[in-house]
């Protein structure tokens, strides 16, 4: 799920700006939020992102156990509503751990990777 952009640093090396915006807004919210509300918030903040990208990213975060996703009845059927599950620090830990696991899977015989991870 996490792709590393080696031309960037910090959280921007792993998250696109709108993805960071999604995570931070969910952490700031005390209530659940729908994908439509999240999309409207991102547009208000100046992000140019499709509603489909917002929906897909929210689903990925939920599938990864980073946020909660519940189904609520609404117009045309059931719709997902989302809320925070982990703290920002726990999310960072999840991202870094996942990235290390990906490196180990890609280079299982690399002593250097094993050394860097076990530092």
**pLDDT surpasses 80 at 59:** yes
**Class level of CATH domain 10-87:** mainly alpha
Q: Where are the domains of the chain?
A: 10-87
45: CB partners within 8 A, 6+ apart: 21
- Rounded Cα distance, 39 and 43, in Å: 6
pLDDT in tens, 13-25: 888 999 999 999 9
More confident position, 19 or 107: 19
**pLDDT surpasses 80 at 118:** no
Q: What is the DSSP string of 4-37?
A: --TTS-GGGGTS-HHHHHHHHHHHH-SS-EEHHH
pLDDT at 119: 66
pLDDT in tens, 71-96: 988 888 888 999 999 999 999 999 88
pLDDT at 49: 96
pLDDT at 1: 66
CA 93, distance to chain mean position in Å, is 12
A 10 A CB-CB count for 18 gives: 20
**pLDDT surpasses 90 at 55:** yes
What backbone torsions phi and psi does residue 34 show, to the nearest 5 degrees?
-90, 165
pLDDT at 3: 75
């Amino acid at each position: 799920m996490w792709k590393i952009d080696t031309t960037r640093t910090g959280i921007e090396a792993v998250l696109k700006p709108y993805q960071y915006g999604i995570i931070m807004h969910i952490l700031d919210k005390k209530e659940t939020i729908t994908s439509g509300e999240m999309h409207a918030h991102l547009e208000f903040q100046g992000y140019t992102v499709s509603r489909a990208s917002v929906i897909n990213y929210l689903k990925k975060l939920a599938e990864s156990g980073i946020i909660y996703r519940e189904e609520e009845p609404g117009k045309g059927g059931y719709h997902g509503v989302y809320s925070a599950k982990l703290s920002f620090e726990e999310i960072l830990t999840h991202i870094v751990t996942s990235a290390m696991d990906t490196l180990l899977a890609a280079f299982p015989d690399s002593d250097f990777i094993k050394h860097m991870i076990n530092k």
